[in-house]
Structure 1
Amino acid sequence: MLRVQNLSVHYGMIQAVREVNFEVNQGEIVSLIGANGAGKTTILRTISGLIRPSKGSITFEGNEIQKTVPQKIVASGLSQVPEGRHIFPGLTVQENLEMGAFLRKDSSEMKADYEQIFKKFPILAERKTQDAATLSGGEQQMLAMGRALMSKPKLLLLDEPSMGLAPIFIKEIFTIIQEIQQQGTTVLLIEQNAKMALSIANRGYVLETGNIVLEGTGAELLASEEVKKAYLGG
């Protein structure tokens, strides 16, 4: 579904991503793990069209998208939940969800989709007339995921969904990610919580200073001595 080939990204003279290659197949959860500053978020922002690569190609469902504007990428079926959530303060929960559906033309189906989101995230149904800025961190993460799902993505990009959340919310978020996959949405997950990310992943890649240094199934990477030592506390 997604193929990234020889991807390099620079910020001025600094090379943040170096000749990266990976792919995501339909129906998978693929996790990209690595320390802070490894280039994970840069890769997602480049896939989403927010950053232009200095080299390489990004192919989504057979079409190259590395020069495509972000709104067309979203319209093609690829949506991102950004690091830090970036919900719209001053808008209600309902209005934030409506922003996720901004590019959709099938208004007749949208009511059923809102109901699906509220079923998946019951707390959002309780808070739908509330200013989104007043939600807790975990609730805002659920809203950011619901907003992205309202664009009906074929591929969902998740950037650090557990960051700053209490353990009870982290467990809930990862359960929801698995449910999203089971309901037919492919997931590319970037996450510092390597143990949680690999435990739900079909496959994973380890990124260090802009390079992919290891790849394998989620189970293989969890069992890897290198991964254990670097990311799982020994």
Structure 2
Amino acid sequence: MILKVRNLVVNYGVINAIKGVNFEINEGEIVSLIGANGAGKTTILKSISGLLKPAEGSISYFGKDIGRKKAPEIVAAGISQVPEGRHIFPGLSVKENLQMGAFLQKDRQQIKESMDEVYERFHILKKRENQDAATLSGGEQQMLAIGRALMSKPKLLLLDEPSMGLAPIFINKIFEIIEAIKQQGTTILLIEQNAKKALSISDRGYVLVAGEIKMNGAGNKLLSDPAVQKAYLGG
């Protein structure tokens, strides 16, 4: 098991955002976390990646509690996050943005190998490597954000709303990319408003409602569940 979250409680001041959440991810899986806006999905991701500190509970990564570790330590351990809204660095080239993803690496040869692997996966980024990242299309920026996260060679990739704001043609492409990343051995925790798409590629899923897990199961089982269809799939 790569990640185990137990009795996680996260507060924003006096607001109890996450209320005793439990879930786990096995190595090699895609696991989706679905729920309405404000349910607490991003808060959970930020807690795993060290951007927020839990009030209670534990987050275990390969059996070691990382709930109190700082974000750079967590990246160094093998967890990378692609944030909602992409957050590429404007004014820096595509290549420079990718290099930012390897900021903890000291081995130049390893950085070059990582860059070559990203360019092999995203040919358009190679073509645009000297271009200001801010001039890329939304879909290209999302590819850049994923590529930047892959530069640190993560064992666990956290994806926060990767299809948000993208044209339909790019949405399909992004989900193909997510599946390909899994096939190459990276475990993925996916947060996605497009619940139908997310569950269709997920081994398992969890439904988050107001800071609590209300349902969980295999992705295809949740897809066909009437309650999930009514709440999230327009059924």
Matched, 1:68 2:66: no
Q: Residue 107 of structure 1 corresponds to which residue in structure 2?
A: 108
Q: Give the whole-Å Cα distance in 1 for the aligned partners of 2:116 and 2:55.
A: 42
CA deviation map 1:64-107 (0-9, x unaligned): 00100000000000000000001111100000000001101332
> By how many angstroms is 1:115 displaced?
1.4
Give the percent of matched residue pairs that are identical in Structure 1 and Structure 2.
66
TM-score by length of 2: 0.98
Q: Residue 185 of structure 1 corresponds to which residue in structure 2?
A: 186
Q: Residue 52 of structure 1 corresponds to which residue in structure 2?
A: 53
Q: Residue 151 of structure 1 corresponds to which residue in structure 2?
A: 152
Matched, 1:11 2:1: no
Q: Residue 165 of structure 2 corresponds to which residue in structure 1?
A: 164
Q: Give the whole-Å Cα distance in 2 for the aligned partners of 1:16 and 1:113.
A: 37
Q: Residue 207 of structure 2 corresponds to which residue in structure 1?
A: 206
Q: Residue 231 of structure 2 corresponds to which residue in structure 1?
A: 230
TM-score by length of 1: 0.99
Q: Give the whole-Å Cα distance in 2 for the aligned partners of 1:61 and 1:217.
A: 22
CA deviation map 1:140-160 (0-9, x unaligned): 100000000001100000000
Q: Give the whole-Å Cα distance in 2 for the aligned partners of 1:207 and 1:112.
A: 38
Q: Residue 2 of structure 1 corresponds to which residue in structure 2?
A: 3
Q: Which amino acid aligns with 1:91?
A: L
* Secondary structure of 1:123's aligned partner: helix
Deviant stretches of 4+, over 3 Å? none
Q: Give the whole-Å Cα distance in 2 for the aligned partners of 1:12 and 1:167.
A: 38
Q: Residue 84 of structure 1 corresponds to which residue in structure 2?
A: 85
Q: Give the whole-Å Cα distance in 2 for the aligned partners of 1:197 and 1:76.
A: 26
Unpaired segments ≥5 residues, structure 1:
none
Q: How does 1:96-135 map to 2 (within 5 A)?
A: 96-135=97-136
Q: Which amino acid aligns with 2:218?
A: T
* Secondary structure of 1:102's aligned partner: coil
